[in-house]
Structure 1
Amino acid sequence: MTWLSVLDLTLVTLIFFAILLVVRDTQAVTLLRGVVLLIILISLMTSLINLPAFSWLVKNALPVLLLSIPVIFAPEIRRGLEKLGRAGGGPAGMLSHQIPGTDGSLQQTVKAVTTACARLSARQHGALIILQRGDSLRDYIQTGVVLNARVSPELLMQIFYPNTPLHDGAVIISNNLIVAGSCVMPLSASGILNRTPDRQMGLRHRAALGISEASDAVAVVVSEETGSISIAHGGRMIRRLDSERLENILLAFYRPEESSSRNSGWLKRVLRIPSIKQPED
């Protein structure tokens, strides 16, 4: 055992770890499990039993199977490369995306979204609001109706009022404007929803997870059945939020350049951790 052997084993381990990390929480996990079991079964049959014709078939079909792997796992490979590309920008590049505009316009946009979600939740009107960050959502904007309107609670409530022309779809917000409504979002290919008790979550939640997997956008969902508010980002979802926590989380996403003490205060407010008062001199 030399240092080259240790390096060799480490590289192989990292490659397998990266593959498992890419396909984690996706439907490809089941497919990968089946492929591994098939390979083990074929290896046992060709090594323990003398089957010349079968061994010849396996030997000649193996290159074709290797070429088919990128086709089968194309969505997972693309998603993994996108995550790697976003991570390549470094922590500063990943956290510097904001809604362009002044501090006041940012506050107004977040406040309008949280107010609208609170009112929609009280009325149990379903909604899906996508807030663009660094990745462009132009392809998804083109699937909807262009609005380019100022963000306001009243407009968002009107868009998602049941049976109106724009209520069925997502609203995309960028540059502190409602860019488009009734946009079509990609559905999540993740297996997370199948393992949760809330398997009955509808298309809005799956679309929110889908756009969060395909981009770095933040998706806010209001359930039509229960009125609960959820937020999705990076393929993960936080559920059952109130308006105060929703506002704090959105501000934490779009104000990363603040000092660590300020971020600690936001984190305490998000997690409802009471602040400790300093004793007076």
Structure 2
Amino acid sequence: MRNITDILARYLSDINLPSVSIIDIIEIILITFFVYQFMVWIKFTRAYTLLKGLLVIGAFLIIAYIFKMNTILWIVSKLASALITAIVVIFQPELRKVVEQLGQKKIMASIFPFDSGKEVKERFTDKTVNELIKACFDMGEVKTGALIVIEQEIRLDEYVRTGINVDALLTSQLLINIFEHNTPLHDGAVIVRGNRIVAATCYLPLSDNMELSKQLGTRHRAGVGISEVTDSVTIIVSEETGQVSVAQNGRLLRNISSSQLREVLEKAQNKKIVDNNKLRQLLKGRVKHEEKNRK
């Protein structure tokens, strides 16, 4: 036992542990924060799917290196610079988005959490929910077809560019007027961001899901298609039956009631009350502790 202890002591004495300063600790914290933000960003964008594809390619290259597949390794080495450029081009929208988010308040608040007061965080207001429900079921009564895409975490800029910019406050009257028959903007989808209609007559990708009913037309397939590639909530009003349906996460919920639509919208609304005044909470807790000790 003593021999083992001596061997361990001799081994540990030969190990030179690096000195850790305050700057090193700050660097570790900053790197951890930015790695975490990168992982969150990847999770809520289409880059997550692309990243999985790159990981598969990386695993293939590791196997090629282990088994000495020199021809494949030579080809990759020659195409390395082109591959890096291709990755930048593929991830360009996501990279631009993450750079824009660096200046947003929610990221700065996570580093300096000393804002004052409470705030309600929500994607859109209750008034917008009411206007959407009223517009959809009013159009359903007169069998006016409609396709409304509600943006969530993943931005829909590439689909906004296919349509005509509107940038107007969302109201039921405006939605009904847009989808009215024989009007210039009625064909295509409306994209909603927050409380505003961003664009109309937008083109959406069609779903290739063979399980969808053959009775469903292009409007429903487009609604399911956009929900397969983004996290958006899409409301479809059938021109043939007047039924209201919702597409989300690649699934279609048909012939829903106004209460069901409200439930879906309130969930997408993501309303929560956040108290940002953490410093005030700490001070308040300290005062209460002091008063308790005096008693």
TM-score by length of 1: 0.51
Greater Cα radius of gyration, structure 1 or 2:
2
Alignment of 1:196-207 (within 5 A): 197-198=211-212, 201-207=220-226
Amino acid at match of 1:230: V
The answer to whether the Cα contact below 8 Å between 2:120 and 2:274 also exists between their aligned partners in 1 is no
Deviation string 1:110-159 (CA, Å, 9 cap, x unpaired) is 3332122124445664323356899898x949942649588235x53343
* 1:152 matched residue in structure 2: 172
Q: Residues 72 and 95 (structure 1 numbering): CA distance in 2 closer, same or farther, change over 3 Å? A: same
* 1:168 matched residue in structure 2: 187
Amino acid at match of 2:92: A
* 1:230 matched residue in structure 2: 246
* 2:235 matched residue in structure 1: 221
Alignment of 1:176-187 (within 5 A): 182-184=200-202
Alignment of 1:238-253 (within 5 A): 239-240=253-254, 241-251=256-266, 253=269
Pairwise CA distance, 1:229: 2.1
The answer to whether the Cα contact below 8 Å between 1:110 and 1:250 also exists between their aligned partners in 2 is yes
Pairwise CA distance, 1:222: 0.9
Q: Residues 156 and 21 (structure 1 numbering): CA distance in 2 closer, same or farther, change over 3 Å? A: closer
* 1:117 matched residue in structure 2: 136
* 1:95 matched residue in structure 2: 121
TM-score by length of 2: 0.49
Where in structure 1 are there 5+ consecutive unaligned residues? 100-105, 260-281
* 2:286 matched residue in structure 1: none
Where in structure 2 are there 5+ consecutive unaligned residues? 1-14, 19-27, 111-117, 276-295
- Corresponding residue SS for 2:184: coil
Pairwise CA distance, 1:223: 4.8
Pairwise CA distance, 1:43: 1.6
Give me the identity figure in percent.
21
* 1:267 matched residue in structure 2: none
- Corresponding residue SS for 1:202: helix
Q: Residues 110 and 89 (structure 1 numbering): CA distance in 2 closer, same or farther, change over 3 Å? A: farther
What's the Cα RMSD here? Answer: 5.7
Q: Residues 149 and 37 (structure 1 numbering): CA distance in 2 closer, same or farther, change over 3 Å? A: closer
Q: Residues 221 and 25 (structure 1 numbering): CA distance in 2 closer, same or farther, change over 3 Å? A: farther
Amino acid at match of 1:247: R
* 2:89 matched residue in structure 1: 71
Q: Residues 57 and 151 (structure 1 numbering): CA distance in 2 closer, same or farther, change over 3 Å? A: closer
Alignment of 1:17-56 (within 5 A): 21=43, 28=50, 31-32=53-54, 35-36=57-58, 38-46=60-68, 51=70
* 1:271 matched residue in structure 2: none
The answer to whether the Cα contact below 8 Å between 1:22 and 1:80 also exists between their aligned partners in 2 is no
Q: Does 194-203 or 244-253 show the bigger shift?
A: 194-203
- Corresponding residue SS for 1:168: coil
Between Structure 1 and Structure 2, how many residues are aligned?
231
Q: Residues 63 and 197 (structure 1 numbering): CA distance in 2 closer, same or farther, change over 3 Å? A: same
